[in-house]
Amino acid sequence: MAGKTLYDKLWDEHVVRQEEDGTTLIYIDRHLLHEVTSPQAFEGLRLAGRKPWRVDANLATPDHNVPTTELKGGPETIEDPISRIQVLTLDKNAQEFGILEFKMGDPRQGIVHVVGPEEGATLPGMTVVCGDSHTSTHGALGCLAHGIGTSEVEHVLATQCLIQKKMKNMLIKVDGQLQPGVGPKDVILYIIRNIGTAGGTGYAIEFGGQVFRDMSIEGRMTVCNMAIEAGARAGMVAVDEKTIEYVKGRPFAPTGELWEKAVAHWQTLHSDPDAEFDVVIEFDGSQIEPQVSWGTSPEMVIDISGGIPDPDQESDPVKASSMRRALEYMGLKAGMKATEMPVDYVFIGSCTNSRIEDLRAAAEVVKGRKVSDRVEQALVVPGSGLVKRQAEAEGLDEVFKAAGFEWRNPGCSMCLAMNADRLPPQKHCASTSNRNFEGRQGAGGRTHLVSPQMAAAAAIAGHFVDVREYL
Amino acid sequence: MEKFARLTALVAPLDRANVDTDAIIPKQFLKSIQRTGFGPYLFDEWRYLDVGQPGQDCSNRPVNPEFVLNQPRYQGARILLARENFGCGSSREHAPWALKDYGFDVIIAPSFAEIFFNNCFKNGILPVVLPDETVDQLFREVAEQEGYMLTVDLAAQTLTKPNGEVIAFEVDPFRRHCLLEGLDDIGLTLQHADEIRAYEARRKQEAPWLFVHLKEVAEKYNQV
Ligand code: SF4
């Protein structure tokens, strides 16, 4: 019998019962909640007179709607009435059902996918779900983590289980060594550009190979975060010494004897050497350049040394027409060089790239330089209160402010502009977030996905530029 | 949930690939804390010429006459014909809520994004996956023939064209059963409560660190 993949192992450990047709009840170890996708789930519980199955497995924090400017007080001070209601509703629900919540103003509050690992609330080997598609982020710790819809949020609250069918196994192997100036974000954008936004549909993706072994845990989070942009609900990386080192000492991580026992188990969380994947895709990491998206889908990505492709050269008519629509929306022309694309706004933040390493990488580029006059606004939004605190302790806030960046409070912010941070129509934004769909950062706004280093360099230059020239 | 009955209804074509959930229901509408009332804002950015706000009365908004759902011939459609990777992007369940509230009971496409696909079943929408060529053919027929209707029979797993031609489709038997019977997932799962408890008891032995009480630990942590 062939060995098991990491996904097989995680899956098998969590099966509560399985029907003959493969429909399976899997147990959920950790459930994360935020204010946008949970109100209707709590409402459903209440209407049905149900109680949460295991209150202690849930962790809530508001992130999508929280203001990132100086807080005037609690959620009751949020200006937008609807944002205010959502945050207040989360507070009320957490209180009523007895769920732990890191509220607005708590230093532990932040983007749920930054907070979970940071607190040790997500641990290797867990099943982790959240009503948010970027839950795949947590797979970086060797978890089975994926997004769920609001009905499923209610289902997990009520039963601590999910009804699932097993996905197929995909291995994306990137070997070799990355060039200086090329980071985790470039790797994942490069992968999506090659396999397409539906390339991973139906699969759980394991990221393997030298590049991911060498990568820090935070870097792996950036990669797993965007598994969903490649169509896969779950992305994951095998546990290694780095994973264990990362988890050690976090507030919810085990200690003492339990720690030893946990580590012994975590060390088994990797694919067996003879495991069989349904699909294996390999890339050479040394060939990857800094990447930048030009269009309105995360697969519309080019090398920074490249140019915008010509829809007339595209043989697939459906693709060609999406490209034409994207060019029109973005106000760009086929054949234009990546470095000719203008930058009006810069956003460094989001659950993809708002951790301390991201901020350090960006600050290194920014240090001693000034944001271009062309750039109307440049924001740095740390992923959590603790990231912010750490960055300030290292003086990164001063580096950013001296260069002309605004230093904000934690939240999702301009990643999707549910709070007051919005990209105006037709403005181009160098953004470290994960989605460049039409209107994502604000109606009519034009998003270009890049790494934190590339966003920093673009801020300085006023157009996209190869960050390697700034190192 | 209501039982999914056999239906014969008008088909509206949405000829774009990779329609994401941001397009289906733009994010400003996510701010609602209810499940209903999203229909008027379905495809808001494409459907109207202005930018919609939650709670807004849509009857006086400038509509985009170019957008397919605004064409008189597609009014009352309950079946949406779509292209590949429909429903990609954010996991918001507001997308199927909006589609359902607008009146769509069936969506036909060559492929769907997974989370969206799941969410459809949970909200009484049947997503039907058909081969590319079949979908192409349907797009052609819908364009050619005004008032084009399909009969969807979930029990038989068939679509029937106006000319009587029958297209068979696959659907997961469990999901089919739930849709046909209008079953609520939570109730079904709670029938297995004993098994869930037995699983938990076993896991508490094997992997006790998975059962830390978050709230208690957080409170302790706060004191030190
Ligand atoms: S940062 Fe952006 S992608 Fe991440 S959870 Fe918030 S809104 Fe979603």
- Each residue's pLDDT tens digit, B157-168: 999 999 999 999
pLDDT beyond 70 at B76: yes
The pLDDT assigned to B33 comes to 84
Ligand 1 nearest atom to the CA of residue A34, by list position: 5
Q: Does residue B47 sit at the A interface (CB-CB below 8 Å)?
A: no
Assign A377 to helix, strand or coil.
Answer: strand
Q: Please name which of B75, B55, B65, B46 lies closest in space to residue B147, comparing C-alpha atoms.
A: B75
- Each residue's pLDDT tens digit, B156-197: 999 999 999 999 999 999 899 999 988 888 988 999 999 999
- Which sequence spans correspond to the domains of chain B? 7-183, 188-220
How far does residue A134's CA lie from ligand 1's centre (Å)? 7
CB A27 within 8 A of CB A55: no
A152 vs B contacts (CB less than 8 Å): 118, 122
- Each residue's pLDDT tens digit, B139-152: 999 999 999 999 99
**How close is the nearest chain A Cα to the Cα of B159, in Å?**
24
Which among A83, A89, A149 has the least Cβ separation from residue B93?
A: A149
Q: Does residue B36 sit at the A interface (CB-CB below 8 Å)?
A: no
> What CA–CA distances, in Å, run from A48 to A44, A68, A98, A163, B21?
6, 36, 18, 19, 28
Look at A105-114, B33-42, B125-134 and tell me which has the smallest mean pLDDT.
B33-42
The CATH homologous superfamily to which domain B7-183 belongs is Aconitase, domain 4 (3.20.19.10)
- Each residue's pLDDT tens digit, A177-232: 999 999 999 999 999 999 999 999 999 999 999 999 999 999 999 999 999 999 99
**A-chain residue closest to B30, CA distance:** A36
Query: Which residues, other chains included, contact A367 with Cβ-Cβ below 8 Å and sequence gap of 6+?
Result: A399, A403
Q: Please name which of B89, B136, B87, B91 lies closest in space to residue B107, comparing C-alpha atoms.
A: B87
pLDDT beyond 90 at A84: yes
Tell me the percentage of chain A whose pLDDT exceeds 90.
94
The pLDDT assigned to B32 comes to 81
- Average pLDDT rounded to a whole number, residues B199-213: 97
Residue A84 CA to residue B59 CA, distance in Å, equals 27
The pLDDT assigned to A82 comes to 85
Q: Please name which of A120, A112, A347, A126 lies closest in space to residue A217, comparing C-alpha atoms.
A: A120
The pLDDT assigned to B224 comes to 44
pLDDT beyond 50 at A11: yes
**pTM for the whole structure:** 0.89
**B-chain residue closest to A299, CA distance:** B18
> What's chain B's average pLDDT?
93
Residue A145 CA to residue A168 CA, distance in Å, equals 15
The pLDDT assigned to B220 comes to 80
Q: Which residue among A225, A229, A351 is best mutated to probe the pocket of ligand 1, counting the most ligand atoms within 8 A of its Cβ? A: A351
* All structural domains of chain A: 1-289 (3.30.499.10), 295-470 (3.30.499.10)
Residue A304 CA to residue A316 CA, distance in Å, equals 25
Q: In what order do the strands lie in the sheet with B106-109?
A: B126-129, B106-109, B79-81, B7-13, B149-153, B158-160, B166-168
Ligand 1 nearest atom to the CA of residue A112, by list position: 5
**How close is the nearest chain A Cα to the Cα of B196, in Å?**
6
